[in-house]
A and B are shown apart, each in its own frame.
Chain A
């Protein structure tokens, strides 16, 4: 009963001084992020959080807590997207303590309640930090996925000839994606020749070669022939010194050579008009 009573007293105090506290809090937050948001804007955001904090103080039910957490999660997510640092986000909440302390300093009988209030804000601050990290993680995974999608185009060079220009390091995840896209395109377009261009692959080691061989073998199972093109002089040296064998897979220096080879295989010839 006593705890409830003191909490209610604290809540009443906070409600009475709402204008002053939120005003000071907004100033502190804006100072903390070095003017990247305006006082009016910050105030609008913080007023919501403030009134929810007061509700949580006066009403021990779960409902208000859940609501407050949802609002805080949204607050930290928007901070993460806006490029604010973790401490700027956390300080945003912790500076509420400072704002309240300035008001409560003269009221000695509320000092104990202030401790409880301070603990609540600490909890919420940690929660903000957690949501901030979660939001950042999500942004990073989204970016990784879109990078993967961006980096594996399959283009049609000619009727029945498709090419896959590979740019960037070829790891297992990318090989899997390239293989899937290549095979699906082969089936969809009915192409029977594919060119794997590795001009943009910075280094070719045994692992990359293994991945290339896998892709070529899978395409062969569908009945399509593959050519590997874009082998640079340094890469050729590495391949030979590592003892990598491409077997009976045709390799060409440039994409143009590979296209000529594929056209010849299809019985086509490009000549002067």
Chain B
């Protein structure tokens, strides 16, 4: 099974999803990220979904859950690089990803985290 790498940059964890998201991949990412947060005491998580072209309600909910899990470790989650088509799909599905902050690109995401900390 493919795994999504989690990179630590300063006090931020950087997750760039560059593969087709399968349900198991997302669950695995959730577990890895929780472990990584405990280990590194990171204060922010950036999830880059620039390369993601297809999302469904399950993955939408998982992203929200990742946000909630991170908050339990006092880390803020920023979702960056969403494509317009993906945003339209999520809106049509009625998912507004409450609790997850969003930014246009990774740079703005970092600014957001640094500005709020």
Contacts and interface: CB of A to CB of B under 8 A. Distances in A.
Interface of A: 176, 179-180, 183-184, 186-187, 190-192, 214, 217-224
B54 interface: no
Interface in B78-110: 78-80, 82-84, 86-88, 90-92, 96-97, 101-105, 108-109
14 contacts: A180-B88, A183-B84, A183-B88, A187-B84, A187-B104, A190-B105, A191-B104, A192-B104, A214-B91, A217-B91, A217-B96, A218-B90, A222-B84, A223-B80
Given A223-B79, A223-B102, 16 more contacts: A186-B84, A186-B104, A187-B83, A187-B84, A190-B108, A214-B92, A217-B91, A217-B96, A218-B90, A220-B102, A221-B87, A222-B84, A222-B102, A223-B82, A223-B109, A224-B104
A218 B84 CA distance: 8
Interface residues of B, number: 22
Contacts, number: 59
Interface of B: 78-80, 82-84, 86-88, 90-92, 96-97, 101-105, 108-109, 112
Contacts of A183: 84, 87-88
Nearest to B50: A187
> Which of B84, B91, B101 gathers the greatest number of chain A CB atoms within 10 Å?
B84
Question: Interface on chain A toward B: helix, strand, loop, or mixed SS?
Answer: helix
A214 B103 CA distance: 18
A221 B97 contact: yes
B105 A221 contact: no
B108 A223 contact: yes
A221 B102 contact: yes
B105 A218 contact: no
Nearest to A180: B84
A223 B84 contact: no
A220 B96 contact: yes
B59 to A, nearest CB: 13
Contacts of B92: 214
> Which of B78, B96, B103 gathers the greatest number of chain A CB atoms within 10 Å?
B96
